[in-house]
Each structure stands twice: as C-alpha cells, then as structure tokens.
Amino acid sequence: MAPTKDEALQLHSDLTINGKLYQQGEVVPWYMIYPFFGLHMLAFGLSGFFMAYADQGPPLTFLYMHGGFAVFVYVIFYLAIFGVDRVKWMFINAALGLFGIYAQINWILGWFNKSASDYGWATHVIPFLYYVLYTFLLYHFVLEVTGANRSPRRRQWVEFGYVIVSVLVYGLIWFFGGTGSE
C-alpha cells in the first residue's frame, strides 16, 4: 500500500536522506528513518550514559560538549522530520515523564550498585535528553508499524496502550527496585 499524505513521516522541511532530496510535505518511508536514528542514538546514548555515570568519567564539560552537540543535531532533524508541534509535545511529555525517566535510570544504575541520587542533577541532563529523544522515536515507530498513523481510531487505541504499558513498566521498576546502592 502506498503511503498517504496523512502519515507521520510527512516532512516538515526539505531533507536529504541517503543522497536523495525529499521536499517538504513528501512522505519518507519509515525504514529510512527509524533504524538509522534508533541505532545511531543507541550508540551515542550508551556512550553518554557510560561517560556520565562512570566512576572515573570525563569532566562534565566534555560530557556536555559530546552529548549536547549530538542532542542539538538530533533536535534539528526531529524538527525537519516531525515538525515544531510534535517536538514541542516531546519536551512537554518529557517534563511530565521525569518520574519514569528517573526510575529507569535509577534501575539501570542499580545493576552497577549505584543510584541516581549518587550524582548531581547536572550529570543527569545528557542521559535524560537521550532518553527523551529515544522514547519519542520509539513512540513514533510504534504508531508507524501498527498503522495508527492512518486511522484515528486505531491511533487512540495504540496511544492508550502505549501509555498503559509505559505506566506499568515505570511502576514495576519503581516498585521492585531501582534503588541502586543502599
């Protein structure tokens, strides 16, 4: 089935992808966006995470330069691909989801006998931003592969399921652990 103009990956700015220029308003196939950004952000996000929480990590200024530049570039691409309104809501939802982000980072750090409270807030900025960008990408990937972008009714159900699954995961992490070093 050919993509329609109502799909999520209708570009909001001109963008060259794999040597092909896509004009504003053109639809880009999901497989041109999600695998690349998913793997790319996973690699940079993991490096940022490990640098931020390493016992002998780099100075905070290097962490901000390394991660901050990458986050800035991702946001530019997100604006071109998804548009200002969706990116605005990405940050609004992230602000509302700090509980979930903190719980998951605390849980992951617990694997290394550490806790999020072992670090100052400034150390968490880059890992949190990567988490926001990655979950935004995951959310749009779920909408795309379930076909929710082509059906308002399906979109409601998928978004409802996404919220329920997210709350369950965050709640389980919070309830069963994530306290790190005690």
pLDDT, tens digit (0-9, with 9 covering 90-100), for 25-57: 888 887 888 888 889 888 988 998 899 989 898
Neighbouring C-beta atoms of residue 105, cutoff 10 Å: 23
Cβ atoms of 23 and 14 closer than 8 Å: yes
pLDDT category at 132 given cuts 50, 70, 90 is confident
Q: How far apart are CA 57 and CA 119, in angstroms?
A: 12
User: Is residue 91 situated within a structural domain?
Assistant: yes
The predicted structure's pLDDT at residue 178: 52
Q: What residue spans of the chain are helical by DSSP H?
A: 34-53, 60-82, 84-96, 98-110, 121-145, 152-176
Write the DSSP symbol of residue 58. Answer: P
- DSSP states along 136-159: HHHHHHHHHHTTGGG-HHHHHHHH
Q: β-strands 15-17, 20-22: how paired?
A: antiparallel
Which structural domain range is residue 97 located in? 45-172
Is 39 a domain residue? Answer: no
Residue 73 lies in a domain: yes
Mean pLDDT of 148-154: 89
Determine the average pLDDT of the residues in 132-156: 88
Residue 21: strand, helix, or coil: strand
- Inter-residue contact 24 to 34 (CB < 8 Å): no
If one counts the domains in the chain, the total is: 1
pLDDT at 96: 64
Name the DSSP letter for residue 111.
T
- Is residue 53, in this structure, part of any structural domain at all? yes
Look at the block and give the residue holding tokens 């900025």: 125
Judged against a pLDDT cut of 80, whether residue 4 lies above it is answered with no
93 within some domain = yes
Look at residue 37 and tell me if it is in a domain.
Answer: no
Strand partners, 27: 10
Predicted confidence at residue 5, as pLDDT, reads 47
pLDDT of 91 higher than 60: yes
